[in-house]
Copies of this chain bind each other. A is one copy, B any other.
C-alpha cells in the first residue's frame, strides 16, 4: 500500500480525483427506485405508541452489481493504481513482488482482481475455516491463497511481506481505500438528488468514503450496523465518545463483524462527517434482505440490507426524519453494498426461520 504520507488528504476534492482514476476500471452501478419499499418506509409502524410518520423516497445504489459483486472493487483498484504511481515501490520491484491482503470476504476478491488486471501477483491470506467456494472464487481471480489459523492472519500476512517483499493492502483503514470507496457517494449524487445516504459500517471504509463524498454538499450521511452481540461498535463509540476496538459477534450480517479503523473513525466521528449511527436486530436484517430480494429482485448479502432495515424499522431514525424533513420528506440513498452470498447460504438463512 502506498505510504500514508504520500496519500491525498481526506477531502471531497481528493475523492473526485480518485474517482477519475478508477472510473474506467469499475462499473457505474445503477440506482434503482422502489415504489413499494418507499411506501412501506413512509407508513407508520403498527403496534407502537405514537409511531413516527416520516415521508421517505428510497433510492438503491446497486453495488451488488459492481465488479466482484461488492463496492470493495473501488478501493482495491484505487490502491493498486496509486501503488503503480509510486516510484519507490516500482523501483523496489513492486510489480513483481506483488501485493498481499488478508480477508475472507469481498476484499480478497477485489484485491485479486485489481492486481491481476495490472499483472501484479496477489497473495490472499484466509483463515482455514473459510468456505471452499470463497477460496475458489479468489483463486479464480488469479490470486495465490494462503490458508492460516483463524487468529493468525496478520502474522501470516507479515510473513509474506517479509519473504516475498509483497506490499500489504489493508481492507479498509487506509486513505487510498477510503478515497476509492468514496466514489460510491459521488456517483450516487450524480445519478439522483438525495437528501441523505445510509451506508453500512464495519471497518468504516465505505461509510467514511461516502461521508467524504458528501462533505460540504448538505447531504446527510448515516451509518447502519447490526446490534447483535455488540456489533454496533461505532454507534456505541459515538455514545462513549471514543473508538471501540474489540467486538466478538456472530451476526448474520457477516460482512459487518469488524470494528472501525483509526482513519475511518477520524472521518466518521472526529470530523463529524457522519450525522448519526443506527442499529437494527437480526430479525430486521433478515426481513429487509427478504424484501430486497422479493420486491427489488436483487440478490444481496445480509450485510447490504442493514441500511434498509434502519429506514424501515429503526424508530429513532424514523422520528428524526419526520422532524428534520417534515411533510416534504427526504430522498434517501441506500447503499446495497454487495451481493456475494451462495444460494445455499441464503437457503439456510430462510429455511431456518
Q: Which residues of A contact B (CB under 8 A)?
A: 30, 32, 64-65, 69, 289-290, 293-294, 296-300, 339, 341-344, 346-351, 353
A342 to B65, CA, bound (A): 21
The reply to whether B294 and A297 form a contact with Cβ atoms under 8 Å apart is no
Q: A64-B297, A294-B342, A297-B298 are in contact. List 15 more A-B contacts (CB 8 A).
A: A30-B30, A65-B297, A69-B297, A290-B343, A294-B299, A297-B299, A297-B339, A298-B298, A344-B350, A344-B351, A344-B353, A346-B346, A346-B350, A347-B348, A347-B349
The contact of A347 among B69, B296, B299, B351, by CB within 8 Å, is: B351
Which residues on B sit within 8 Å (CB–CB) of A348?
A: 347, 351
Question: How far, in whole Å, are A286 and B235 apart by their CA atoms in the complex?
Answer: 42
User: Are B339 and A343 neighbours in the complex by a CB distance under 8 Å?
Assistant: no
Q: Which residue of B lies closest to A67 (CB)?
A: B35
A114 to chain B, nearest CB (A): 16
Question: Nearest CB to that of A339 among chain B residues?
Answer: B297
User: What are 10 A-B pairs with beta-carbon distances under 8 A?
Assistant: A64-B297, A65-B297, A289-B343, A294-B343, A297-B339, A343-B346, A343-B350, A346-B346, A347-B350, A351-B351
With A and B bound together, what is the CA distance between A298 and B65 in angstroms? 9
Q: Which 8 A-B pairs have the closest CB atoms?
A: A297-B339, A347-B350, A347-B347, A347-B351, A297-B299, A351-B351, A64-B297, A290-B343
Residue numbers in B under 8 Å from A298 (CB-CB):
297-299
The distance in angstroms between the C-alpha atoms of A64 and B342, with both chains bound, is 20
- Kindly provide the distance from the CB of A352 to the nearest chain B CB, expressed in whole angstroms: 9
Highest count of chain B CB atoms <10 Å: which of A300, A341, A344:
A344
Residues on the B chain within 8 Å of A65, using CB: 32, 297
CB-CB under 8 A from A344, the residues of chain B are: 350-351, 353
A348 nearest CB across to chain B (Å): 7
With a cutoff of 8 Å between Cβ atoms, the chain B residues found around residue A350 in the complex are 343-344, 346-347
CB-defined contacts of A347 to chain B, threshold 8 Å? 346-351
Instruction: From A65, A294, A298, A350, name the one whose CB has the most chain B CB atoms within 10 angstroms.
Output: A294
In the bound assembly, the distance between CA atoms of A341 and B290 in angstroms comes to 11
**A39 shortest CB reach to chain B, Å:** 11
What residues on B are CB-neighbors of A296 within 8 Å? Answer: 299
Contacts of A290 in B (CB 8 A): 343
Closest residue of chain B to A64 (Cβ to Cβ) is B297
Shortest CB distance A345–B (Å): 10
Contacts of A343 in B (CB 8 A): 289-290, 293-294, 346, 350
**Nearest residue in B to A65 (C-beta to C-beta)?**
B297
B297 pairs with A293, CB closer than 8 A:
no
**Residue among A289, A293, A343 having the largest count of chain B Cβ atoms under 10 Å:** A343
Q: Closest residue to A290 on the B side, CB-wise? A: B343
